[in-house]
Amino acid sequence: MLKRNVMAMAMVLCVGQLWAATPLTGPVGINNPSPQRQLEISGPSLPGIRLLTNASTSSYVEILDKSANQFMFEKTAATGECMLDINTKTTDHTSPSYFRMFRDVNTTGMRGLYLYRGNGTATLDTMIGVGGTETFFQNTKVGINREPQTGYSLDVQGAARVTGNTTMTGNATVTGETTTAVVNITGGSDLSERFVIAGKGIQPGTVVCIDAQNKGGLLMSHKAYDHKVAGIVSGAGGIKPGLIMGQNASVADGRLPVALSGRAFCLADATKSPIQLGDLLTTSAIPGHAMKVRDHARAQGAIIGKAMTSLKSGKGMVLVLISLQ
């Protein structure tokens, strides 16, 4: 009995020495009779592990699950690119989701961490990148402390702080207090508030007055030298409001922006007297129109502002530097 055990142990040792001295040349398949890599470990449905080294084009380690979702580390000899890919089904951007961390030694700007979401074509639906020279978000919705709401590329719940200059193109909604040193507005030239304006025929450039019948509301001006003049409906002549104020669900709420300061075009009446640069303007008897001040005593408290363009006769538009007084 002892002799047989000793002989069996010797055979095991010999086999071990033979294995160490004579390695397999591959490909070697485990649960796969037709391996496609030097070492392939698969289950019945072909998921598993692939290892390829010293190839002419690339070397990589690849792990597939049962659904062929892929984890891969790859070094491409042709481009010098090193990648860590985690994606579904394929290695291109048509995948439903795609994660890549890579470094391309030939392109200094293309390195770092990238998150993709494909849309079924070669076009990326969502991409977030943090590279060696830039950080970018493409077609991406980002929520901080909340799910991003429809229509917002960046949706932040809680306080946010930005130090340095900020350039914003597009709409931004902030609920809460904003503190900054300088606001540089390049898209409009007046300060407006939103008002409820009674009546019909209201259009940009209309001169409006306080409505005594509606608390916090306005109506179209309809008499000369009206001390209740409030401003000009903003937006005429392509001049948009630069800052719009209001308070939702209050008497300081409304739909139409009315310019209270700054520059705005308004409807003007020059039938009785031509309007020249620098003329003081007040309300006219023609509804919604301004006219030149001719009676300065009556104009006290009824002045809209100063004319910055002229109108020789008839009716038209005049650019006004608004200064209610």
Reported as a single tens digit per residue, the pLDDT across 76-86 is 555 555 556 66
Q: What is the pLDDT of residue 13?
A: 41
The mean pLDDT of 104-125, rounded to a whole number, is 52
Query: Higher-confidence residue: 198 or 28?
Result: 198
pLDDT digits (tens, 9 = 90+) for 230-267: 999 999 999 999 999 999 889 899 999 999 999 999 99
Q: Which of 35-49, 253-267, 287-301 has the lowest mean pLDDT?
A: 35-49
pLDDT digits (tens, 9 = 90+) for 206-231: 999 999 999 999 999 999 999 999 99
The structural domains of the chain, with segments of one domain joined by +, span 54-138, 190-323
Q: Which residues contact 76 (CB under 8 A, 6 or more apart)?
A: 57, 58, 82, 83
| Nearest residue to 38 (alpha-carbon basis) of 30, 29, 27, 24 | 27
Which of 84-98, 164-178, 310-324 has the highest average model confidence (pLDDT)?
310-324
Q: How far is CA 114 from the centre of its chain?
A: 18
Q: Is 304 left (phi over 0), alpha (psi -120 to 50) or beta?
A: alpha
- Is 225:298 a contact under the CB 8 Å cutoff? yes
Phi/psi of residue 126, nearest 5 degrees: -140, 135
pLDDT category of residue 196 using cuts at 50, 70 and 90: very high
Q: What is the pLDDT of residue 276?
A: 97
Residue 55 has pLDDT above 70, yes or no: no
* 101, containing H or E segment: strand 98-104
pLDDT category of residue 2 using cuts at 50, 70 and 90: very low
Q: Which residues contact 171 (CB under 8 A, 6 or more apart)?
A: none
Q: Distance between CA 268 and CA 200 in Å, rounded?
A: 18
Phi/psi of residue 29, nearest 5 degrees: -115, 135
Q: What is the pLDDT of residue 56?
A: 54
The mean pLDDT of 52-78, rounded to a whole number, is 59
Q: Which of 171-180, 193-202, 206-215 has the lowest mean pLDDT?
A: 171-180
| Nearest residue to 43 (alpha-carbon basis) of 56, 30, 27, 25 | 30
- Is 230:260 a contact under the CB 8 Å cutoff? yes
Q: What is the pLDDT of residue 107?
A: 52
The CATH class of the 190-323 domain is mainly beta
Residue 57 has pLDDT above 90, yes or no: no
Q: What is the pLDDT of residue 132?
A: 54
* pTM of the entire predicted model: 0.61
Residue 137 has pLDDT above 80, yes or no: no
pLDDT digits (tens, 9 = 90+) for 84-98: 666 555 544 445 555
Q: Compute the chain's Rg from CA coordinates.
A: 37
pLDDT category of residue 165 using cuts at 50, 70 and 90: confident
The mean pLDDT of 110-126, rounded to a whole number, is 52
In whole numbers, what is the pLDDT of the chain averaged over residues?
A: 77
